[in-house]
Amino acid sequence: NGKYLLLPSMLLALYWLRWQHRSVVEVTNEPILEFKQGSPERAALQKALNNLKGKTEAIPCMVGGEEVWTSDIRYQLSPFNHSHKVAKFCYADKDLLNKAINAALAVRKEWDLRPIQDRAQIFFKAADMLSGPRRAEVLAKAMIGQGKTVIQAEIDAAAELIDFFRFNAKYAVELESSQPLSVPSSTNSMVYRGLEGFVAAVSPFNFTAIGGNLAGTPALMGNVVLWKPSDTALLSSFAVYRILLEAGLPPNVIQFVPADGPVFGDTVTSSEYFCGLNFTGSVPTFKRLWKQVSENLDRYRTFPRLAGECGGKNFHFVHSSADVPSVVNGTLRSAFEYSGQKCSACSRLYAPDSLWPQIKEKLLEEHGKIKVGDPAQDFGTFFSAVIDDKSFARIKKWLQHAKTSPNLSILAGGNCDDTVGYFIEPCIVESKDPKDPIMEEEIFGPVLTVFVYPEKQYKEILQLIDTTSPYGLTGAVFAQDKNVIQEARKLLRNAAGNFYINDKSTGAVVAQQPFGGSRASGERPGSPHYLLRWTSPQAIKETHVPLRDWKYAYML
Ligand SMILES: *[C@@H]1O[C@H](CO)[C@@H](O)[C@H](O)[C@H]1NC(C)=O
Ligand SMILES: *[C@@H]1O[C@H](CO)[C@@H](O)[C@H](O)[C@H]1NC(C)=O
Ligand SMILES: *[C@@H]1O[C@H](CO)[C@@H](O)[C@H](O)[C@H]1NC(C)=O
Ligand SMILES: *[C@@H]1O[C@H](CO)[C@@H](O)[C@H](O)[C@H]1NC(C)=O
Ligand SMILES: *[C@@H]1O[C@H](CO)[C@@H](O)[C@H](O)[C@H]1NC(C)=O
């Protein structure tokens, strides 16, 4: 009878092997769902949104595998209805952070020794959970907590996060298979070790995917992590954290520690075991952390790795040969989606005088149709409130600047109202001065400034674009003329890490437009080489030929 069982069990074994190595099988980008009327995903999302109505979730710190509360209680408010407290949480203090460091270090060796295949499976599993049963929950939490519309939540908390988990897991497994040459006399191999210490991950509010990835990628590579999520994205961050645990991540690998920024920074950078920082946020904060690291350099057991992504001042350059509808609709999306709170949002538009009347007319016409409101009540909302009172106050100042500066005129919008939520109308400003601060500094809100230039001077304008801001994140060129595109590519080579031709400056997809970045923008994730930052490769040589001499031939 044995031989009848042999074939099925061999097939089973083969299948099992293939499943174990399924990252070798192609990984593709997660499809973006449409949420049309009557679709199952829409029904699931609506149900999840209803579940959150009026609710306040209690979110503890997770340290040493346990839920911990301190007395420093905080709340996360819904941006479009600030009387709705969506989460109650607490700040970890210095003591608790030090406990978290020790708890993480206690499991480091074991975690680092786990085969990469095992670690990768956890991330594949988490991606499958996000893609299926947990999608609606995480989307709803990103919508209510971070003020995202359906599509903005979908491309972030579902699609991008799933892509990060799957592609990084695949890249990690592939990295393992990139091995050095072996020769008859020796076998050589590379071991990709986690860093010897802990990695601190500081994530921003604007992308749920970044939070999961900032903490997740170093963990995938065998590191232990202290994750400080953003105060204004706790609800979705904690959901992602729980999904990772349910997918099999051992509890101590990532410690979940909301905290005051400076307290967190001071505590982690003063530990001798600090070995890496994965940061997304502002330039001043990143510089401050970098300085602290350099001051503490003598303490560390290893040179810490610092990776930071720090914002942008992204441009749309329009040449007179451009396709006007693409310019208009691309600019509306890029400047105003998610209230301009993306690192890649377009905030300066350079238009030739010959096309400007046409562009302006359409821009204003479409602007009038933009709905700003509650994205959970009304799916027709194009964008919602900005994240919090601080953002609101900062952007309001820019609106004030636009109203009072003689070089600036507001073409549309300009009002804001924070009685219910932190609402800011989409605002289009025209500037007569291409060096006005509004054209140079990051605003991080729904404010677009246009500079109209004499058509013939486009080369000077390309140079101007290159030298206007300290950032170098994203930018777009709209032109049908191939020579102009070539010129723009040369002149703007260092002005953008993600460069778009006849497309808007936002919307990079993992593995398709692996994210770049330069100058004060820092670096951005999205490609295999980022993984190398969180690993410490070890080369091992095993010799098969016994050494029988210490003298060399020429000496005899
Ligand atoms: C805002 O949230 C509060 C508390 O959950 C609720 O009572 C109120 O109805 C909400 N307001 C709006 C405009 O949705
Ligand atoms: C740092 O965080 C980003 C998220 O912004 C993540 O995608 C990236 O992989 C991390 N960097 C490294 C080197 O792991
Ligand atoms: C832009 O998009 C709108 C609606 O999505 C469409 O009606 C319009 O024709 C498009 N083109 C221009 C130039 O605005
Ligand atoms: C997210 O927001 C932070 C500011 O909190 C900014 O520095 C960063 O560039 C943004 N990242 C993305 C991907 O939008
Ligand atoms: C207005 O712009 C001109 C350059 O175009 C500049 O010299 C002047 O200082 C600006 N005025 C203000 C108030 O910024």
Contacts 24+ apart (CB under 8 A), 235-238: 235/57, 235/59, 235/76, 235/86, 235/87, 235/141, 235/142, 235/144, 235/145, 236/138, 236/141, 236/142, 236/145, 236/146, 236/157, 236/208, 236/211, 237/203, 237/208, 237/211, 237/212, 238/57, 238/59, 238/87
- Which residue among the candidates 154, 309, 337, 442 is catalytic per the annotation? 309
Pocket lining: 54 vs ligand 1, CB cutoff 6 Å: yes
Residue 392 Cα distances to 217, 283, 341, 425, 444, angstroms: 32, 20, 12, 11, 10
User: 0.85 cut: is pTM over it?
Assistant: yes
DSSP 8-class letter at 159: I
- pLDDT tens per residue across all 556 residues of the chain: 555 667 767 777 666 655 555 445 589 999 999 999 999 999 999 999 999 999 999 999 999 999 999 999 999 999 999 999 999 999 999 999 999 999 999 999 999 999 999 999 999 999 999 999 999 999 999 999 999 999 999 999 999 999 999 999 999 999 998 899 999 999 999 999 999 999 999 999 999 999 999 999 999 999 999 999 999 999 999 999 999 999 999 999 999 999 999 999 999 999 999 999 988 888 899 999 999 999 999 999 999 999 888 889 999 999 999 999 999 999 999 999 999 999 999 999 999 999 999 999 999 999 999 999 999 999 999 999 999 999 999 999 999 999 999 999 999 999 999 999 999 999 999 999 999 999 999 999 999 999 999 999 999 999 999 999 999 999 999 999 999 999 999 999 999 999 999 999 999 998 898 877 888 888 766 667 778 889 999 999 999 999 999 999 999 8
Angstrom distance (rounded) from CA 174 to CA 553: 42
Pocket lining: 78 vs ligand 1, CB cutoff 6 Å: no
Angstrom distance (rounded) from CA 256 to CA 28: 30
Going by alpha carbons, the residue nearest to atom 4 of ligand 5 is 433
* Mutation pick for ligand 4 pocket among 280, 387, 441 (CB with most ligand atoms within 8 Å): 280
Written as one letter, the residue type at 477 is V
Pocket lining: 311 vs ligand 4, CB cutoff 6 Å: yes
**Of the candidates 477, 512, 519, 460, the residue with the CA atom closest to the CA atom of residue 494:** 519
Going by alpha carbons, the residue nearest to atom 5 of ligand 2 is 210
Angstrom distance (rounded) from CA 188 to CA 544: 11
309 is catalytic: yes
For residue 503, report the distance from its CA to the centre of ligand 3, in Å: 15
Domains of the chain with CATH codes = 40-310 (3.40.605.10), 314-501 (3.40.309.10)
Angstrom distance (rounded) from CA 106 to CA 293: 23
Q: Is the dihedral of CA 427, 428, 434, 439 positive or negative?
A: positive
Token pair belonging to 123: 């991330």
* Mutation pick for ligand 2 pocket among 123, 192, 208, 217 (CB with most ligand atoms within 8 Å): 217
User: 17-30 burial string, b = 16+ CB within 10 Å, else e?
Assistant: eeeeebbeeebeeb
Pocket lining: 310 vs ligand 4, CB cutoff 6 Å: yes
312 in helix, strand or coil?
Answer: coil
User: Ligand 4, closest atom to CA 281?
Assistant: 7
For residue 342, report the distance from its CA to the centre of ligand 4, in Å: 6
For residue 84, report the distance from its CA to the centre of ligand 1, in Å: 6
What is the residue whose two structure tokens read 């509010």? 205
H-helix or E-strand spanning residue 366: helix 356-367
